[in-house]
Amino acid sequence: MKFFKRHAEASGSDWSPGKIVFAVVALVGTFFAFQLLVALSHLWLMMFAAVVFAVVIRAVADPLIRITRLPEVPVVVASVLLIIGPIALGLTLFGSEIASQGAGVIARIPMGWDRIQQVVADQPYAGEIQAATGQLGAYAGRAIGWAQTFAMGTAVALTGLLLVIVAGIYLALSPARARDGLVALVPLGRRDRVRYILDTIGRALKGWLKGQIIAMIAVGLASGIGLSIIGVPSPVALGVLTGLLNFVPIVGPILATVPAVLMAATVGWEQAALTLLLYFVVQQVESILLVPLVQKNVASLPVIVTIFSVVAFGSLLGPLGVILSGPLALTIFVLVIMVYRQDVLGDRTMQAPGETR
């Protein structure tokens, strides 16, 4: 302590031994807090998923509240039924057909892969091509292994999903209370600004989710109908898979294309080429026309941010991080603009997604 005291006096600073101890404790506490955040990352992701589901509920409930002038609680309950009801009805009517076609997809995909390898073997430079396709096959095998592991943890996944739904409904019933609870943790002079930032994030997420859900439905229907016309087996299951994977930006549509092309390859190369063309056209129509029309720049993200967010959150947080990469990237993007660029740098020229002026 005498050394620190002499050093402080020599340098003209006011670092007393008490302040040094406080700094060390703060540094150690920050380190362990970071470790706790990493260790509980799955819990934070589930909490964020609950927030996303609450935003979906409020996206349905808020217009109904404005139109009907009814209290929030019955309208929110009705909104939950409007969201879950069609899904339950669709599973009741088409669940067995989707499951049957899904089993057919799993059974026939290896046939399509074998056929591709046979054709590649007859081509010039077959050795180099086979090495590349063999590496792709190894990646596919890892993906299948991950899918099997995920399927074995279905009970855990369903439990987590139930918790997310319940927490999301609770948040949707009283979003202002949850927001004000966070606002109460910051100094009084910054509470209005933090409240505005949180409201902006909510508007941005609402616009993004609205665009994604409409795009998922449209892409799933277009893909399923197109595959049926082309003559690809199991078009319903592939259409549902395409729609669901479309929730993950950039990577999801690419992943959805692979099983569809492999299934088409079991029928013929013309069908495989038409399937690849179908998915390309559908994704171009979605990205150029549908999403901008629905979102109207309320929740637009730079493409490079979207791509790296999928990679980063997938590497750090696993499959759940990939699924939530879009909302997470949008939230962080809004925070960077409003907290760092606007508040720290004082640059108010750039408007954040969801911000109203």
Digit-coded pLDDT (tens) for 63-98 = 888 888 888 889 999 998 888 887 777 777 666 766
* Residue (of 213, 210, 207, 219) closest to 286 by Cα position: 219
In 88-198 the beta strands, taken as DSSP E runs, fall at none
Is pLDDT of 234 > 60? yes
Is pLDDT of 39 > 60? yes
Residue position matching structure tokens 């409003």: 338
List the structure tokens of 141: 């095998």
* Cβ-contact 60, 206 below 8 angstroms: no
* Cβ-contact 59, 206 below 8 angstroms: yes
User: What does DSSP assign to residue 345?
Assistant: S
* Cβ within 8 Å of residue 178, ≥6 positions away: 171
Distance of CA 283 to the CA centre of its chain: 17
Burial of 304 (C-beta count, 10 Å sphere; 0-12/13-18/19+): exposed
- Collapsing DSSP states into helix, strand and coil, what is residue 351? coil
Higher-confidence residue of 284 and 121: namely: 284
Record the pTM: 0.74
Is pLDDT of 189 > 80? yes
State pLDDT tens for residues 96-124.
766 776 666 666 666 666 666 666 565 55
* Mean predicted confidence (pLDDT) in 135-140: 54
* Cβ-contact 254, 243 below 8 angstroms: no
Residue position matching structure tokens 């019955």: 74
> Residue 128: its pLDDT value, please?
55
> Residue 357: its pLDDT value, please?
65
Instruction: Let me know how many helices (H) and strands (E) the chain has, helices first.
Output: 15, 0
Distance of CA 322 to the CA centre of its chain: 6
* Mean predicted confidence (pLDDT) in 35-60: 84
* Cβ-contact 298, 204 below 8 angstroms: yes
CA distance 327 to 321: 10
CA distance 91 to 87: 6
